[in-house]
Structure 1
Amino acid sequence: MQTPNILIVDDDKDILKLISMRLNAAGYATVTTNNGAEAMSAIMLQRPDLVISDLRMPAMDGMALLDAIQQSHPSLPVIMLTAHGSIPDAVNATQRGVFSFLTKPFDSQALLQQVASALRLNGTQTHTVSNEDDSWRADILTRSSIMESLLGQAKLVANTDASVFIQGESGSGKELLARAIHRYSPRSAKPFVAINCGAIPENLLESELFGHSKGAFTGAINNHVGLFQSAEGGTLFLDEIGDMPQALQVKVLRALQERVIRPVGSTTNIPIDLRLISATHRNLVNEMKEGRFREDLFYRINVVSLEIPSLANRREDVSLLANHFLHVFSDKYKKKLHSFAPDALEILITAPWPGNVRQLQNIVEQTVVLATTQVIPINLVQKALQEGANTVIPLDVARQQFEFNYLINILKTTQGNVTQAAKLAQRNRTEFYRLLERHHIQASTFKASKENESPD
C-alpha cells in the first residue's frame, strides 16, 4: 500500500507545521522544505505526488520553483499559496500551469478538496494505491524520480487516444513503456501488436504492415492480414520508425489520416481503428532536416512525446535491476545465487552502459551462467564488462558518460562541496551547477554529514 506523498514549501515554519499536520490527519504523507532550492533537491531524491508552495519566498520564489518543476517533472501538479492574494497573481499562476491558487489564511476544507482534485488529475488515489493499480507498469522496475515522472505522464496519456512518440537510446525500454501505456488504456482488452521497422527488409515491410492479397507478388499464395488489421481495436507499436523507408512513410501517413488501409495487390480499402505508439533512437528533427523523414508524418505521430532516460542517467536503478535479473536468471538456469559481491555491484553502478538496460540484462545473464559461488564476484563482472567494451559507442554518448563519471568522482573527492568541486574543475559555480542539473546529480548525496558540511 502506498500513501500519496505531498511536498510542502514555505519559509514560514509555523505554516509548514500547520499544513503538514492537517494533511497528515487526512491520511497523506508529507515532506517539508523552507525554500525552492531545497524543494528541488527533495524532488530529485523522491518525486512527490503533489507540491504545495508559498508564492513569496526569498531567493527562489514560488513561480521560479514552478518553472523548475515544469522543466524536470511537467506532469507534477503544484498548488500555490500566498498571503498577498491578488487577481493578477492568480491569473499569472494559472496561465503558467499552476493547478490551483489559495490565499492565506486558507480554509482547511478548501485545501483538502484542492489536494484531492490535484491527486485525481495526477492519477493518484486520494488515500491509498493498491499493488493491483500498479500492475500496468509492473514490468518497469525503478526508484528513479526521472522515471517516476515519465510514468506519471504515461499514465495520463494512456487514458486518451492520442498518438504517442517515445524517444530513447537502444535498449532503454521503449517497448516496455509502450506496453505499459496499452495496459492502462481503454484498449487494454484488445491486441498490442509490435514491429521493429528497422529489422525487416524494405520490400517486405509494406506487406507486414498492410497485408497483401493472394497473387500480389511471387510467393503470395494466400491472403495475408497485416499488422494494422491485427491491431484492430488495440495498439500498434512501430519501433524504430526512424528507419522506415520514405516511400512507406507516405503510405503510413495516409493510413493514419484516412483511417483506412489497402493491402498490397488489393483494390479494396479496409477501415482501421487503433491507437499508434511509435519509437526511435534517432533524432527525427535532424532526420527531417536531412530529408530522410517526412515532416507531416512526424507531426502526425508526435502528438505526445515521451523520452526515456538512459540507464547512465538513472543509476539509482542499476542495483535494483541487476538484482532483479540475478533472480530471474538464477531461476532460469536453476542456480542458487544470492547476490553480487559489494565491489562487483559498485562496478555495475559506475559502468557506462552504452547498451542501457538490455546490456545490463546480458551482463547479468553472463555472470550467472559462469558463477560457481553463491555470491557473484567482481572478476566475473569485470570480465563481462570488458568483453562488451570493444563495442564502439557514439561520440556524444561517450562524452556524456565521461562527464557523468568525472562529476561523480570530483564530488566524492570534495564530499559534495560544490565550491571546491567547481574550483577543481576550473568552472564557475553557476556553470558547475548546470552540469550537475544536466546529469541529474545532487551534490548533497555526497556530503559526509549534515552537521560537518561547510557552506558552499
Structure 2
Amino acid sequence: MTSLRQPATAPARNRPQLLLIDDDPDLLRLLSMRLKANGYRVSAAASIEAARSLLGVERFDLVLSDVRLPDGDGLALFEEIRQQHPALPVILLTAHGTIPDAVEATSRGVAGYLTKPFDSQALLATLAQTLQRTAPTPGTGPKADEDWRAELISHSARMHALLDEARLIAASDASVLIRGDSGTGKELLARAIHRASPRAAAPFVAINCGAIPEPLLESELFGHVRGAFTGATHHHTGLLQAAHGGTLFLDEIGDMPLALQVKLLRVLQERAVRPVGATRAEPVDLRIISATHRDLDAALADGQFREDLYYRINVVSLELPTLAERREDIPLLAEHFLRGLAVKYAKDLSGFAPDALEALATAQWPGNVRQLQNVVEQVCALATTQLIPRTLVERALRVRPIEALGYPEAKRRFERNYLIQILKLTAGNVSDAARLAERNRTEFYRLLQRHGLTPDLFRGEGPAVDR
C-alpha cells in the first residue's frame, strides 16, 4: 500500500512542489500547513493573476486550485495551464460542485475534482495517486533519470515546461517539429527526445537541409546506386537508410527544395526509400524530427513549402524560447560553458565576477545560446585572473555577430515587433488592436498565438515583453 505521507528525511529538491490557489486566506493557510506537514513543498496564491506569476518563475509538480476565484474561474486557468504546461496535472476544489461540473472538468483533462468540505485523507490520497500516475516510469538508463536532457542546461520554468512536454512526446513515435531562432538549441532538443525515446539505442542521424548544396542533398538523403549519375562510382547509403530503427533529424527543413519535399513525403507515406538510380524501394523504419527558424506558415502561403508535408512533420510542435526569454538561465549556462572551456584552455578559472554576470544577464543576445557560448570562449581565452572581470565580458559583447536575415525571418521579426507595439498602444485590448491592424479578432488571436504573445502581458503592470 502506498503511503500518503512523504518521507520527512527526503531532500527538499526531491519532494513534490505544489501550487495552491484559493481566495480564502484561512483555508489557504490551513491547507498549506497540512500539505507541508505531509512532506510537500507548497507555494500559495490568492488569485489567478498571482498564480500566473508563480507559474512563470517556478516549476511545479501539481496545481491545486479553487474553481471560483476573484479574477476568474479555475477551469479557465486550467485551460491556460494545459496550453503552456501540458504535463502539469491540475486538481480542482469547489464549494459549488455538482456532478455535471465534475464530468465536464474530467472530460477536459482535469486530473482530479474535490468538493468542499472535503476529507483530508481523500485530498492526500488524490494528490498521491495523481503524482504517482504522472511521474516518469521507473527503470534504468537515460529514461529513468535526467541524462536524456543533460545537454539542455536550465532551471527556468519555461524550459522545464518544454522539457516535460518533450519527455511525454518522446515515448510516442509522433513526428516532431521544433521551432526556434538560430542558436536556441534545436538539435540539442532533438537529441534529448531521441535519448528519451524507445529508439535511444538506435542511430540518431542529423542533416542540415540548408547547409548542403541542392544537387547533393538528394543523394545524401536517399543514397544512390553505382552508375546513377556521372561520378557515382560506388553504392552510397543515404541518411534515411542510415537512420533505420532510429531518428532522422532534419534541421532547417524550411530550406528543403520543393522537389525533395515531394520525395520525402513519399518516404513518410510508404515507409520505404528508393535510392537515386535504383529500380526498387527499400523499407525503412525511422522517426522524423524536424527543425526550422523560418515561418513555415508564411512559406506555405508563398508556395515554398508543401502543405501535405507540413502536416506530416508537424504532428507535435515544440517552440524553443530565445535566450532573452529565459534570462534566469544565463548565469547557469555561462558557468557551465566556463567549466568546460577552462579545461580546453588549461586555465584555472573560478567563475565570473558579480558585475560580469550582471553584464551577461542584461545583454541582448540576438545569437542566443550559441552567441553566449562564443562570448564565454572569448573571455576564457583572454582571461589572466581566476575570476572573469566585467571588462572582458563587455569587450566580448561588443563583437556583435554578423546576422544576415532571410526575407521570411525578417518578416517574422517585423510582425512580432508590430504586434508588441500595437498591444502596448491598446494596453492589451484585443478588439482595439485587431481594429487598428485591420484584422478580425480570430485572425488577430492566431497571429498572437503564432508569436507566443498573450494580451494579459500588456494589461496593467504586467511583465515586460522581450522583443
Name the TM tier (shorter chain).
0.7 to 0.9
Q: Distance in 2 between matches of 1:191 and 1:298?
A: 24
Contact 1:144 1:316 in 2 (8 A): yes
Q: Distance in 1 between matches of 2:94 and 2:104?
A: 13
Match for residue 316 of structure 1 among 301, 321, 328: 328
Contact 1:352 1:401 in 2 (8 A): no
Q: Is it true that 1:364 corresponds to 2:373 in the alignment?
A: no
Match for residue 306 of structure 2 among 288, 294, 300: 294
Note closer, same or farther for the CA distance 1:282–1:209 as it changes in structure 2 (3 Å cut): same
Give unpaired runs (5+ residues) of structure 1.
Answer: 407-421, 445-456
Q: Distance in 1 between matches of 2:419 and 2:254?
A: 28
Q: Distance in 2 between matches of 1:304 and 1:380?
A: 42
Match for residue 89 of structure 1 among 101, 113, 126: 101
Q: Distance in 2 between matches of 1:397 and 1:352?
A: 15
Deviates more, 1:294-303 or 1:74-83: 74-83
Please report how far the alpha carbon of residue 185 of structure 1 lies from its aligned counterpart in structure 2 after TM superposition: 0.8
Contact 1:41 1:442 in 2 (8 A): no
Please report how far the alpha carbon of residue 311 of structure 1 lies from its aligned counterpart in structure 2 after TM superposition: 0.5
Counting only pairs closer than 5 Å after superposition, residues 3-402 of structure 1 correspond to structure 2 as 3-124=15-136, 133-388=145-400, 391=403, 394=410, 397=413
Q: Distance in 2 between matches of 1:245 and 1:347?
A: 42
Deviations 1:84-124 (CA, angstroms, capped at 9, x unpaired): 11123223323443222121222444433432343345445
Q: Distance in 1 between matches of 2:33 and 2:125?
A: 16
Tell me what 2:457 maps to. 437
Contact 1:354 1:397 in 2 (8 A): no
Three-state SS of the structure 2 residue aligned to 1:229 is helix
Contact 1:11 1:57 in 2 (8 A): yes
Amino acid at match of 1:437: L
Contact 1:182 1:235 in 2 (8 A): yes
Note closer, same or farther for the CA distance 1:391–1:402 as it changes in structure 2 (3 Å cut): farther
How many aligned positions are there? 422
Deviations 1:299-344 (CA, angstroms, capped at 9, x unpaired): 0010111000000111111111111111111111001112222222
Contact 1:210 1:261 in 2 (8 A): yes
Three-state SS of the structure 2 residue aligned to 1:352 is coil
Q: Distance in 1 between matches of 2:412 and 2:246?
A: 37
Q: Percent identity?
A: 56
Deviates more, 1:382-391 or 1:34-43: 382-391
Contact 1:123 1:156 in 2 (8 A): no
Amino acid at match of 1:160: S
Contact 2:367 2:401 in 1 (8 A): no
Contact 1:312 1:401 in 2 (8 A): no
Give unpaired runs (5+ residues) of structure 2.
Answer: 1-12, 431-452
Contact 1:340 1:376 in 2 (8 A): yes
Q: Distance in 2 between matches of 1:183 and 1:278?
A: 16
Deviates more, 1:105-114 or 1:321-330: 105-114
Amino acid at match of 1:170: S
Amino acid at match of 1:332: K
Deviates more, 1:352-361 or 1:394-403: 394-403
Q: Distance in 1 between matches of 2:207 and 2:302?
A: 25
Please report how far the alpha carbon of residue 44 of structure 1 lies from its aligned counterpart in structure 2 after TM superposition: 1.1
Contact 2:348 2:386 in 1 (8 A): yes
Amino acid at match of 2:359: I
Contact 1:123 1:152 in 2 (8 A): no
Q: Distance in 1 between matches of 2:134 and 2:231?
A: 52
Contact 1:240 1:280 in 2 (8 A): yes
Note closer, same or farther for the CA distance 1:148–1:58 as it changes in structure 2 (3 Å cut): same
Contact 1:233 1:274 in 2 (8 A): yes
TM-score of the superposed pair, with normalisation by structure 1: 0.84
Amino acid at match of 2:168: L
Amino acid at match of 1:291: G
Contact 2:143 2:195 in 1 (8 A): no
Contact 1:142 1:148 in 2 (8 A): yes
In angstroms, what is the RMSD of aligned CA positions?
3.0
Three-state SS of the structure 1 residue aligned to 2:18 is strand
Deviations 1:253-279 (CA, angstroms, capped at 9, x unpaired): 010011111111111211111111111
Tell me what 1:453 maps to. none
Please report how far the alpha carbon of residue 138 of structure 1 lies from its aligned counterpart in structure 2 after TM superposition: 0.9
Q: Distance in 2 between matches of 1:426 and 1:380?
A: 39
Amino acid at match of 2:207: I
Note closer, same or farther for the CA distance 1:232–1:373 as it changes in structure 2 (3 Å cut): same
Contact 1:123 1:155 in 2 (8 A): no
Three-state SS of the structure 1 residue aligned to 2:93 is strand
Three-state SS of the structure 2 residue aligned to 1:366 is helix
Q: Distance in 2 between matches of 1:402 and 1:29?
A: 41
Q: Distance in 2 between matches of 1:318 and 1:391?
A: 21
Q: Distance in 1 between matches of 2:458 and 2:369?
A: 21
Amino acid at match of 1:182: H
Deviates more, 1:81-90 or 1:330-339: 81-90
Note closer, same or farther for the CA distance 1:397–1:360 as it changes in structure 2 (3 Å cut): farther
